[in-house]
Structure 1
Amino acid sequence: MTMNETERSPQGFEEQLLRDLTTHVARRAEMASAARPAGRRTRFVHGWRLAGAFGLAVALTAGGLAVQTMRLGNRPPPTASASEIFHLAADAARQQPELTARPDQYVFTESLATIREMPDSGPYQTVRNQLWQSAGGVAYTQGRYRPEADPNGWSELRVFRIDDPVDPEKELDAFQPPAYHGDLPTDPDELLRYLREHPVDLHLPEGADEEAVYGDESMAYTTARSMLRGYVPPRALAALFELLAREPGAVVISGDVVDAAGRHGVAIRMPGVIGGNEDFLFDRDTHVFLGTRGSVVRNGKESLYDAVALLRIAIVDRPGQLP
């Protein structure tokens, strides 16, 4: 099994979130339909797992969203290389205020994104997502979500557990890793050594060649990208972006892009994805990290699968608490 294949390894937490989200949206749609005259009802089906570094939420209005998120703006294409943009993102990261957290606290994130029922077909769903991830990895992640068009449509706050890769219906008795990465080295070379010694758990399926996967040279970059799902302090985040600037194969997508929240940015396409693409989005002017978007390629045609925009991140004391 190659590192490219790990990009599609099962992530039970994300799959469960999407299943719950779909059920929640469908239930509310059925309730609304029952109050209207008989007619065609909207049907939501279970989709694929969420993808990308922030694959934790889904957003964008059905229909015109794909055009909005994938379109090119009127600004000229960026002239900087992927490496140069990552270095600019590192400079921007150093300017951010630092958040501190105790192991018993939670990293709160709110995001918007886009998800399609199937990778290359079906309507898009629009959802706002809030997550509370254990800062110290000592408790389960909790979250809630709602259709963006329904301000009162929040789901119940619920606990998310990791599924067994072999038996998706079986939940593993294990917490998610810490979401607060306060112990990361702030020097890129030291960070690279640290990431090689502490790879992210990919929850590989039974029979996978773990030695080949975790021993691959690109594994450190996979671990680095995964950390963007939690909170990385400014100096360590700068080192992380400087490290990603070294990753071979990253390229800039020409033209102005718009993220799921309507913010203009520049996209860097990351290597190592089979059957599609993963892009990192940065603010066009400030180079602050905005989020990710994922696409699939079928018969030579690329179509947007998901786009996740990070709106805010904070440290709170308990699940359900808002900053």
Structure 2
Amino acid sequence: MHSFRHFLAQVLESSGKHINKGRWLDFFLVLLILTNVIAIVIESVQSIAIEYKHYFIWIEIISVGLFTLEYLARLWACVDKEKYKNSGDSHLKMRFKYITSPLALIDLLAILPSYLMLFMSFDLRFLRVIRLMRVFKLTRYSRAMQLLLQSFKEEASSLGAAFFIMAIVLILASCGIYLIEHDIQPDKFGSIPESMWWAMATLTTVGYGDVVPITPLGRFFGGVITVLSMGMVAIPTGLLASSFSEQLRKRRTQFEDEVHACLEDGKLTLDEKNKLERLRLELGLSKQEAKSAIKKQQSSLYQKQYCPHCGKNTHN
């Protein structure tokens, strides 16, 4: 039983010796998720929903069944994940940590609405939107989404500070436009909370145009806020772009370090090539990036082994 659980953990996480089986399972689950999302979107068209009702029901039943099996399998096998099995915690504690992890919560939310529908009545429009959260399951299989989530995690404090400053500016902008425009446009700037709609639209540079200042002072104030907002929006954008680039660099460096370790004896064996291929898939690097890293390390090794002037082996 333990060996089967270990096998299942490697397949579900696309790691170890069974990485290829895991990749095929990931491919199937991605297709299933995309089929669900397309079906949910098309089902919102009333005429199609009525005509093909039974097909949509069967898609839902099969999908929920498979997603449930996947969730339970991940919950059972999570104790053999590298992340948890070396922690020294009990199996119960490991599974609790897994249940409360972001990806596990997304998996649960993907199936929970369908089960709740058996016991409670829901507005079908609300249920359809909740079921669309299944698209977030793609986070598990998308390299870009994983990098973005890691960027959010590492820049959480900086992003928090940026949004705190934006919240202060939002309040100041709302108060300012309220003082200037509330007597002229009481229906639009009658209170500070009502003024926040204009301030939010202006600070995010959206500018819907449904609420605008009409006094000269109000327009001047609005122009100042608009110019200020350009810099405010750029702060979190710059932080995320920088962190995203850093995550890519770290993954490439990790792969290059592993290539360097494998090339210590001057050549790559079949086992080492398979090991590097598994690492490439785990890190989400392209084949071109991997080839470039291997070529770079081989070139560096050649320069160390041979004299750049005479071409003789310096190790002899």
Structure with greater helix share of residues: 2
Rg bigger for which structure?
2
TM over 0.5, yes or no? no
Determine which structure has greater relative contact order: mean sequence separation of CA pairs < 8 Å that are 6+ residues apart, divided by chain length.
1
| TM superposition score normalised by structure 1 | 0.20
